[in-house]
Amino acid sequence: MRVEIKIDPDVAETSAVIYAPKMTPELMTLVEVLEGAQGKTSLLVAKNDDKLFVIEPDQVDIIRAEGGEIKVYNNKARDYLITKPLHEILESLPSNFVRISKSAIVNIGRVDHLSSSFNGTMHIVMKNGINDYISRKYLGDFKKRLGM
Amino acid sequence: MEKKNKIKLILSYLFAGIGWGSFMFVINAVINAITIDTTDLNDVERVIGFFDNIPTYTIGYFAVGIGFFGTAIIYEIERLSFGLKLIIHMVIGIGVLLIVGFSFSWFSFENPVNIIGNIIFSAAMVFIGWTVAYIQNKKEVERINKVLAEKNHRKPLDTD
Look at chain A and report how many structural domains it folds into.
1
**Domain with A86 in it: what CATH number?**
2.40.50.1020
Domain membership flag for residue A47: yes
Domain membership flag for residue A7: no
* Interface size between A and B, measured as CB pairs under 8 A: 51
- The reported pLDDT for the residue numbered B160 is 44
- Residue whose C-alpha is closest to residue A108's, from A84, A82, A134: A134
Q: CB count, 10 Å around CB of A55?
A: 19
Locate the chain A residue with the closest alpha carbon to B145: A113
Domain membership flag for residue A64: yes
State whether B75 and A119 contact (CB < 8 Å).
Answer: yes
Tally DSSP H helices, then E strands, for chain A: 3, 10
Taking the model in full, what pTM does it have? 0.65
ipTM higher than the 0.90 cut: no
Phi and psi angles of residue A77, each rounded to the nearest 5 degrees, phi first: 65, 20
For the range B86-94, what are the long-range contacts, defined as Cβ-Cβ under 8 Å and sequence gap of 24 or more?
B89/B126, B90/B123, B90/B126, B92/B67, B93/B64, B93/B67, B93/B68, B93/B122, B93/B123, B93/B126, B94/B119, B94/B122, B94/B123
pLDDT band at B155 (very low <50, low <70, confident <90, very high): low
Identity of the residue in B76, B141, B148 whose CB atom sits nearest the CB atom of A116: B141
Read out DSSP for B39-51? T-HHHHHHHHHHH
State whether B148 and A122 contact (CB < 8 Å).
Answer: no
- The reported pLDDT for the residue numbered B62 is 92
Q: Which amino acid is at B89?
A: H
Domain membership flag for residue A76: yes
Domain membership flag for residue A132: yes
Does residue B77 carry a pLDDT above 90?
Answer: no
- A62 and A106 Cβ atoms separated by less than 8 Å: yes
Domain membership flag for residue A17: no
Contact residues, chain B to chain A, C-beta under 8 Å? 1, 75-76, 78, 82, 130, 133-134, 137-138, 140-141, 143-145, 147-149, 151-152, 157, 159-160
Domain membership flag for residue A3: no
Domain membership flag for residue A5: no
User: Whole domain around residue A39: which residue ranges?
Assistant: 25-145
pLDDT tens string B9-63: 888 888 888 998 898 888 888 888 888 888 888 888 878 877 888 888 899 999 9
Task: Report the side by side order of strands in the sheet with A122-126.
Answer: A111-116, A122-126, A131-134
- The reported pLDDT for the residue numbered B104 is 83
Across chain B, mean pLDDT equals 83
- The reported pLDDT for the residue numbered A73 is 95
Identity of the residue in A116, A137, A147 whose CB atom sits nearest the CB atom of B137: A116
* Average pLDDT per 10 consecutive residues for chain A, totaling 148 residues: 82 80 74 60 79 88 92 92 89 90 92 82 91 88 88
Q: How many residues does chain B have?
A: 160
